């Protein structure tokens, strides 16, 4: 069974830079998995941040960027702000209409 | 503005059934791939099901295959999820989500606010 891995938690100082990753227990993540990233605060619906590996969704600040780093999809936040404190989820497309979300990363800004 | 409004959630007994609806507006529904995603209390997101724009192809996560059925009525711009033989493990907030536009469909472009399904006796 394919498992998508994310760091359970991460912390960053205000103004700092953090990179969250999205990997596979078996194999490497590439653009063919169409990685995308979502931000969710408690009690709210997810918000789309990044799709197609590195394309920002409409209205998303440019301090959010996506890439492939060392066989994983990556979400980098540059100049973190207090309201970036959220849960972040990646999802990979496995083909055949099947999607698998990662377990999410809880980001703390302190 | 894209709007997705889920309804139909509530409390249901184990073994029971429920049908969720997602009313869409602000885009050409009949041209859009649609999906359901759920989130159990305190847990992460889980893709549940997807359906092509014309309704001709459906896909399901292994956890719901044979128990859930996704469908759509393009004349009503509404997405559905029929859930049967419900168990406590199906307790979650259920979100409907729109796929990307014709140029790139491989993501979850817009999300509804979700509807809570609680399976309990």
Determine the distance from the C-alpha atom of residue B116 to the mean position of all C-alpha atoms in its chain, rounded to a whole number.
12
Interface mutation target, options B107, B109, B114, chain A, most CBs of A under 10 Å? B107
Do residues A23 and A103 touch, judged by C-beta distance below 8 A?
no
Cβ distance of B57 and A97 shorter than 8 Å: yes
When scoring A48, A99, A102 by the number of chain B Cβ atoms within 10 A, the one with the most, hence best to mutate, is A99
Per DSSP, what are the bridge partners of residue A17?
A78
Chain B residues lying within 8 Å of A98, measured CB to CB: 47, 59, 61
Contact A65, A35 (CB under 8 A): no
Torsion angles phi and psi, residue A5, rounded to 5:
-105, 140
Q: Which of A87, A70, A64 is nearest to A17 (CA)?
A: A64
Give yes or no for residue A69 having a pLDDT over 90.
yes
Nearest by CB to residue A45, choosing from B100, B109, B112, is: B112
Question: Which residue did the predictor score with more confidence, A34 or A1?
Answer: A34
User: Is pLDDT of A102 > 90?
Assistant: yes
- Nearest CA to A50 out of A40, A67, A36 is that of A36
Chain A contact present for B55, CB below 8 A:
no
Q: Which two tokens stand for residue B88?
A: 């406590």
Q: What is the mean pLDDT of each run of 10 residues along chain B (121 residues)?
A: 98 98 97 98 98 97 97 98 98 97 91 98 96
Pairing of strands A105-109, A9-12: parallel
Q: Locate the chain A residue with the closest alpha carbon to B36.
A: A99
- Whether the per-residue pLDDT at A2 is higher than 90: the answer is no
Which pLDDT does position B103 carry in this prediction? 83
**Backbone dihedral angles phi then psi of residue B27, each to the nearest 5 degrees:** -160, 170
Give me the pLDDT at residue A1, please.
78
Determine the Cα–Cα distance for residues B18 and A88; give it in Å rounded to an integer: 30
- Cβ neighbour number for residue B120 with a 10 Å cutoff: 10
């Amino acid at each position: 069974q394919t498992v998508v891995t994310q760091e359970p938690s991460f912390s960053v100082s205000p103004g700092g830079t953090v990179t969250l990753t999205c990997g596979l227990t078996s194999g490497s993540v590439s653009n063919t998995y169409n990685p995308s990233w979502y931000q969710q605060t408690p009690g709210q619906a997810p918000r789309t941040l990044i799709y197609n590996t590195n394309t920002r969704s409409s209205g998303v600040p440019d301090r959010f960027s996506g890439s492939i780093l060392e066989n994983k999809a990556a979400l980098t936040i540059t100049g973190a702000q207090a309201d970036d404190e959220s849960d972040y989820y990646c999802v990979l497309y496995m083909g055949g209409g099947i999607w698998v979300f990662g377990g999410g990363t809880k980001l703390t800004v302190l | 503005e894209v709007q997705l409004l889920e309804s139909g959630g509530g409390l249901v007994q184990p073994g029971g059934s429920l049908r969720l609806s997602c009313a869409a507006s602000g885009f050409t529904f009949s041209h859009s791939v649609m999906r359901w995603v759920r989130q159990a209390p305190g847990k992460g997101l889980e893709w549940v099901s997807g359906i092509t724009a014309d309704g001709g192809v459906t896909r399901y996560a292994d956890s719901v295959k044979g128990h859930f059925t996704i469908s759509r009525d393009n004349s009503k711009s509404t997405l559905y999820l029929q859930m049967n033989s419900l168990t406590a493990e199906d307790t979650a907030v259920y979100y409907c989500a729109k796929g990307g536009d014709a140029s790139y469909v491989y993501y979850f472009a817009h999300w509804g606010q979700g509807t809570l399904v609680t399976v309990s006796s």
